[in-house]
Structure 1
C-alpha cells in the first residue's frame, strides 16, 4: 500500500490553512477539496492534529462541516471568539456567517 501522508501533502494542507483569514473558518472537507483530495477530510484532520510539529498555523480556524469545534480542544472556541467568529451554540460556529468563501 502506498504511503498516503508525506511531507509535501502535509505542507499543502498547512499552506491552505495558513490562507484562512482571521474571523473566518474552513471545514476539513473544504481544505481537502482545495488540495485536490475531495474524499480526504479525515486526513486533513490527522495532519492538523500534528501541525505543532511543523510550525505555527491557525488550525483553530478549521471545523467540521456542521461548524462543530474539535472535541477536547477548549482553547479553539476562545481563539475564534477573539477573532470575532460568531457561534450558533456553545460548540458550533455559525457557518452561514463565518465560512471562508475561497
Structure 2
C-alpha cells in the first residue's frame, strides 16, 4: 500500500506543467489519501526522480537546503516568484 501511495504521488507530480506548482496538501487532497506530511515523506525519499521544485509548502517555500536549486528551476520555467518564494496564488496548478 505504501508503494502504491508513493507511485500515485510521483505520477501526479510528473503531470504538473512547467511554471506551475502544487502544495503538499493539495496532492494529498487530490489523491484522497494521506496528508501533507505523507506527501513530504515521499518527496524526501523519492522526490529526486521527479520535478520536485514544483511541489511547495503552502507559503511557496521548500526546505532551506532545496531553495537555491529550486529558485533556479523556477526562474528557468517562468514560475511566478515574489520575494524569493513562489507566488502560490499565481502559480497554483489545479489538479484534475
More helix by share: 2
Q: Which has the higher contact order (CA 8 A, sep 6+)?
A: 2
Map 1:45-84 to 2 at 5 A: 45-51=40-46, 56-73=49-66, 74-84=68-78
Is the 1:69–1:77 contact (alpha carbons within 8 Å) kept by the matching residues of 2? no
Is the 1:23–1:80 contact (alpha carbons within 8 Å) kept by the matching residues of 2? yes
| Residue segments in structure 2 that go unaligned for 5+ positions in a row | none
Q: C-alpha distance in 1, partners of 2:29/2:73?
A: 25
Q: Structure 2 residue aligned with 1:40, among 16, 35, 40? A: 35
Residue 71 of structure 1: how far off its partner (Å): 1.8
Is the 1:69–1:93 contact (alpha carbons within 8 Å) kept by the matching residues of 2? no
Q: TM-score, normalised by structure 1?
A: 0.83
Output one character per residue of 1:43-68: Cα deviation in whole Å (capped at 9) or x when no partner. Answer: 1011011115xx73111100001112
| Residue segments in structure 1 that go unaligned for 5+ positions in a row | none
Residue 93 of structure 2 is aligned to residue 93 of structure 1:
no
Moved over 2 A (4+): none
Q: Which structure's CA Rg is the greater one? A: 1
Q: TM-score, normalised by structure 2?
A: 0.88
- Aligned residue pair count: 94
Task: Give me the CA root mean square deviation.
Answer: 1.6
